[in-house]
Amino acid sequence: MTETLVNADLPAQLAGQRILVLNWRDIRHSQAGGAEQYMHEISRRWVDFGAEVTWFTGREDHQPAEDVIDGIRVVRSGGPLSLYGKAALRMLRTRNRFDAVIDCQNGIPFFSPLFLPREMPIVQLIHHVHQEQFRTRFSAPMAAVGRLLESTGAKAVYGRRAIAAVSPSTRLELRKLGFPGAIHVVPNGTIEVPKTVGPRDPEPTIAVVSRLVPHKRLDLLLGQFAIAAASVPKLRLEIMGDGPERPRLQQLAMDLGLDDIVTFHGYQPNHVRNSLLNRAWLTVSTSASEGWGCSVIEAAAWGVPCLALRVPGIRDSVVHGSTGWLVDTAAEFGPALVAALETLSEQREAGGMSARCQDWARCFTWDRSAALLAGVLMEEGALRRGGVDAGGSSSDMSTLVHFDMPAGANLEAILRPTDEVSENQGRVSVLMKGRDEFEAFAIMRRIGVVSAELRAVGRSTLLAGPGSTFTPADAVEGM
Question: Residue 451: what pLDDT?
Answer: 87
What is the enclosing helix (H) or strand (E) of 347?
helix 347-361
Q: Is the pLDDT score of 59 beyond 60?
A: yes
Lowest mean pLDDT among 61-75, 142-156, 353-367: 142-156
- pLDDT band, residue 227 (cuts 50/70/90): very high
DSSP 298-344: HHHHTT--EEEE--TTHHHHS-BTTTEEEESSGGGHHHHHHHHHHHH
Average pLDDT of 225-253?
95
Q: Is the pLDDT score of 377 beyond 60?
A: yes
Pair (448, 340) in one structural domain: no
> CA 445, CA 447: separation in Å to the nearest integer?
5
Pair (215, 341) in one structural domain: yes
Average pLDDT of 281-295?
93
Q: How far is CA 215 from the centre of its chain?
A: 18
Pair (213, 345) in one structural domain: yes
Average pLDDT of 150-163?
90
What is the enclosing helix (H) or strand (E) of 401?
strand 398-404
- pLDDT band, residue 128 (cuts 50/70/90): confident
Pair (349, 438) in one structural domain: no
> CA 422, CA 60: separation in Å to the nearest integer?
44
Q: Let me know if residue 348 belongs to a domain.
A: yes
Pair (56, 176) in one structural domain: yes
> CA 338, CA 347: separation in Å to the nearest integer?
16
Q: Is the pLDDT score of 152 beyond 70?
A: yes
Pair (352, 413) in one structural domain: no
> CA 191, CA 301: separation in Å to the nearest integer?
7
Q: Let me know if residue 386 belongs to a domain.
A: no
Which residue, 98, 322, 305, is CA-closest to 204? 305
> CA 428, CA 111: separation in Å to the nearest integer?
41
Pair (244, 101) in one structural domain: no
Q: Let me know if residue 190 belongs to a domain.
A: no
CATH number at residue 141: 3.40.50.2000
Q: Let me know if residue 19 belongs to a domain.
A: yes
Domain of 281, in residue numbers: 205-361
Question: Residue 8: what pLDDT?
Answer: 61
User: Are the CB atoms for 20 and 43 separated by under 8 Å?
Assistant: no
> CA 155, CA 163: separation in Å to the nearest integer?
11
Per-residue pLDDT tens over the stretch 11-32: 778 899 999 999 999 999 988 8
Which residue, 146, 151, 152, 150, is CA-closest to 134? 146
Lowest mean pLDDT among 18-27, 354-363, 458-467: 458-467
Which is it for the CA torsion 289, 295, 301, 302, positive or negative? negative
Average pLDDT of 402-422?
87
Pair (301, 345) in one structural domain: yes
Question: Residue 5: what pLDDT?
Answer: 57
- pLDDT band, residue 150 (cuts 50/70/90): confident
> CA 244, CA 334: separation in Å to the nearest integer?
25
Which is it for the CA torsion 375, 381, 387, 392, positive or negative? positive
Per-residue pLDDT tens over the stretch 416-462: 889 999 888 778 999 999 999 999 999 998 888 888 899 999 889 99
Q: Please, what's the b/e burial string for 236-254 (b: 16 or more CB within 10 A of its CB; e: otherwise)?
A: bbbbbbbeebbeebbebbe
Q: Let me know if residue 196 belongs to a domain.
A: no
Which residue, 337, 278, 332, is CA-closest to 307? 337
Of residues 308 and 137, the one with the higher pLDDT is 308
- What is the number of other CB atoms lying within 10 angstroms of the CB of residue 68? 8
Pair (352, 254) in one structural domain: yes
Q: Is the pLDDT score of 401 beyond 50?
A: yes
Pair (282, 353) in one structural domain: yes
- What is the number of other CB atoms lying within 10 angstroms of the CB of residue 153? 16
Q: Is the pLDDT score of 474 beyond 70?
A: no
- What is the number of other CB atoms lying within 10 angstroms of the CB of residue 82? 12
Q: Let me know if residue 373 belongs to a domain.
A: no
Average pLDDT, the chain: 90
Pair (350, 473) in one structural domain: no
> CA 220, CA 360: separation in Å to the nearest integer?
28
Q: Is the pLDDT score of 242 beyond 80?
A: yes
- At position 280, the amino acid (one-letter code) is A
Q: Let me know if residue 191 belongs to a domain.
A: no
Lowest mean pLDDT among 17-31, 72-86, 270-284, 391-405: 391-405
Q: What percent of the chain has pLDDT over 90?
A: 72
User: Are the CB atoms for 43 and 53 separated by under 8 Å?
Assistant: yes
CATH number at residue 467: 3.30.70
Which positions ≥6 away from 271 have C-beta within 8 Å?
A: none
Q: Let me know if residue 50 belongs to a domain.
A: yes
Which residue, 127, 155, 185, sits at the end of a domain? 185
- At position 197, the amino acid (one-letter code) is V
User: Are the CB atoms for 73 and 86 separated by under 8 Å?
Assistant: no
Q: Is the pLDDT score of 251 beyond 50?
A: yes
Strand partners, 456: 399
Number of domains the chain is built from: 3
Question: Residue 475: what pLDDT?
Answer: 40
Q: Is the pLDDT score of 473 beyond 70?
A: no
**Helix %, strand %, coil % of the chain (to 5):** 40, 20, 40
Question: Residue 390: what pLDDT?
Answer: 42
User: Are the CB atoms for 399 and 457 separated by under 8 Å?
Assistant: yes
Pair (210, 175) in one structural domain: no
User: Are the CB atoms for 67 and 28 separated by under 8 Å?
Assistant: yes
DSSP 262: E
Average pLDDT of 334-363?
95
User: Are the CB atoms for 454 and 400 separated by under 8 Å?
Assistant: yes
